[in-house]
Amino acid sequence: MPSDHDHPDARSRSEERTFADDHGVEIVYDVHPASAPTTDAPRGVVQLLHGVGDHAGRYAAVIGALTAAGFTVYADDHRGHGRTGMRQHGGDASRLGRLGVGGLPAAVEACWRLTRVIRDDHPGVPLILLGHSWGSFLAQMLLDRHPDAYDAAILTGSALRTPLSLNAAPLNARWKGPDALGTEWLSTDPAVGRAFLDDPLTTTTPLLRLFGPVDAARLYGRPRRGLRAAAGHDVPVLLMVGRDDPVGGPLSVHRLARAYRERGGLDDVTTLVYPDARHELFNEVAQAEVRADLLAWLDARFPPR
């Protein structure tokens, strides 16, 4: 099964843009316009948030599926990561993943700044957060702080952000062996792990070493109480997780779903668990099924015009 690296079309019509965050760091992001012939406006805009050590360029297949379905996608390389990180760190790839001045709060604020850019570019168009792994934690934080800014949230490889619901052990522990690459936890497709290691814009340095204990502890939190009331409407949430995902896994994601219902007051919360899948669902052997489920969920809530 091809990985996201085998789908270059998602970047062919994209436009690279930048903005300077509050600390002067140049944030690089891409705008992928909707390609489906709908109307002058897209069905919705998806703000995609990638994971730790990751970058937006690894999501080409899902971006291509979304744009073909009529959604415009904005995807940035977060603070310290990808193209942003290379510029921020003077081209030193060994420092990729390090957030720099302002730390995690600045990284969250930069994502919120991109949300405001999107709202200015597409007033009145539904805005959906799509966060993977650390990006899903950023999405949870954004939804807690600005619930009225978003119309839906999709979280993959996510977890309830508490010490007992996040795995502190080495993520590749269960696949450890003499021939292990150390990236087996990402996908059942061995090519995905190899491609991650070969990618000049990724890093395998663990989160705690990249962020330090203070910023790592800032990741903890629970969905906001009264989220629905603060938003002024129900916010549909889709949680997608591989059964063998070592970051949180199904148990943690079910706890997160319950927190969104009981603490947040949300009604439309859906959890999908994929057997024999690991952390990167968009790079899994079953990625076509994952994309189809994602689009079906969106179709039911944001139908074509």
- The residues carrying an active-site annotation are 133, 245, 279
Q: Is 179 helix (H, G, I), strand (E, B) or coil?
A: coil
Using the structure block, give the residue that is written with the tokens 């996040």: 166
Residue 211 has phi, psi (to 5 degrees) of -90, -30
Contact in structure between 225 and 147 (CB atoms under 8 Å):
no
Q: Which helix (H) or strand (E) holds 139?
A: helix 134-145
Residue type present at position 132: H
Using the structure block, give the residue that is written with the tokens 């962020």: 211
Contact in structure between 268 and 145 (CB atoms under 8 Å):
no
Give start and end residues of each alpha helix (H) in the chain: 9-12, 60-68, 82-88, 103-121, 134-145, 190-198, 207-217, 227-231, 249-262, 287-301
Phi-psi region of 17 (alpha: psi -120 to 50; beta: other; left: phi over 0): beta
Residue 213 has phi, psi (to 5 degrees) of -65, -35
Give just the sign of the alpha carbon dihedral 39, 63, 112, 160: positive
Distance of CA 3 to the CA centre of its chain: 17
